């Protein structure tokens, strides 16, 4: 998995990926993100995107991926429309672009720091605060399989014939796609 364009390839075993997913899922629980909540992610493809996606599903949280090339206003519209409680972004610069366009009660977390002090928390700082009981809570959630009809993700259309629409996909839709592959 590449971290950023131009950086060397970094191999993860399935066990390492699982560990990163559980740690991030525990971080989400510690931050008060609960099953059924909706959390958005406005980011380029990167390993943190994949870890976040899997962590959100593990916790029963509805993932709202937002296409990175969208403008800050378009992204803010989708964050608001989806009723997201958390927004994951790449860096403080991206957080600044969307600040003031989303409700103040939506938490924003950055994957990367830019070397400057920022009011936006970094994912790495949040990951450093997790404890074993947080991981145990994830394991407890893991033992309960989501029902097929539970909402898993909201994907927004391109809006070619009007405003983008949020397509609500359940666990059954994701499972069907995976088994067809």
Each residue of 66-114: pLDDT tens digit? 999 999 999 999 999 999 999 999 988 899 999 999 999 998 888 887 6
Determine the Cα angle at 30 with ends 26 and 33, to 5°.
90
For residues 23 and 70, the answer to whether their CB atoms sit within 8 Å is no
Q: Provide the 3-class DSSP secondary structure of residue 3.
A: coil
Mean local confidence (pLDDT), 141-154: 71
43: pLDDT confidence band, cut at 50, 70 and 90? Answer: very high
Q: Provide the 3-class DSSP secondary structure of residue 34.
A: coil
Mean local confidence (pLDDT), 137-142: 66
Q: What's the confidence (pLDDT) of residue 29?
A: 84
Which tokens belong to 44? Answer: 């380029």
Q: Provide the 3-class DSSP secondary structure of residue 174.
A: helix
- Higher pLDDT, residue 136 or 106: 106
Per cent of the chain over pLDDT 90 is 34
Q: What's the confidence (pLDDT) of residue 141?
A: 63
154: pLDDT confidence band, cut at 50, 70 and 90? Answer: very high
d(CA 40, CA 82): 8
Which tokens belong to 19? Answer: 């560990």
Residue in 70, 123, 71 with CA at minimum distance from that of residue 92:
123
Mean local confidence (pLDDT), 127-134: 67
pTM for this entry: 0.82
Which tokens belong to 172? Answer: 């059954």
Give the Å distances, CA to CA, from 37 to 54, 63, 85.
15, 9, 7
d(CA 45, CA 4): 9
């Amino acid at each position: 998995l590449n971290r950023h364009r131009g950086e060397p390839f970094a191999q993860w075993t399935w066990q390492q990926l699982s560990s990163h997913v559980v740690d991030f899922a525990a971080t989400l629980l510690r931050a008060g993100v609960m099953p059924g909540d909706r959390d958005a992610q406005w980011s380029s493809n990167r390993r943190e995107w994949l870890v976040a996606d899997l962590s959100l599903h593990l916790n029963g949280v509805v993932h709202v991926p937002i296409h990175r090339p969208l403008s800050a206003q378009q992204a803010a519209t989708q964050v608001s429309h989806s009723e997201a409680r958390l927004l994951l972004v790449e860096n403080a610069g991206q957080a600044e672009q969307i600040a003031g366009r989303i409700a103040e009660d939506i938490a924003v977390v950055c994957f990367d720091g830019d070397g400057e002090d920022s009011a936006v928390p970094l994912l790495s700082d949040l990951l450093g605060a997790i404890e074993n009981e947080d991981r145990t809570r994830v394991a407890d959630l893991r033992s309960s399989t989501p029902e097929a009809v539970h909402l898993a993700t909201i994907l927004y259309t391109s809006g070619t014939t009007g405003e983008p629409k949020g397509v609500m996909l359940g666990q059954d839709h994701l499972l069907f796609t995976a088994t067809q592959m």
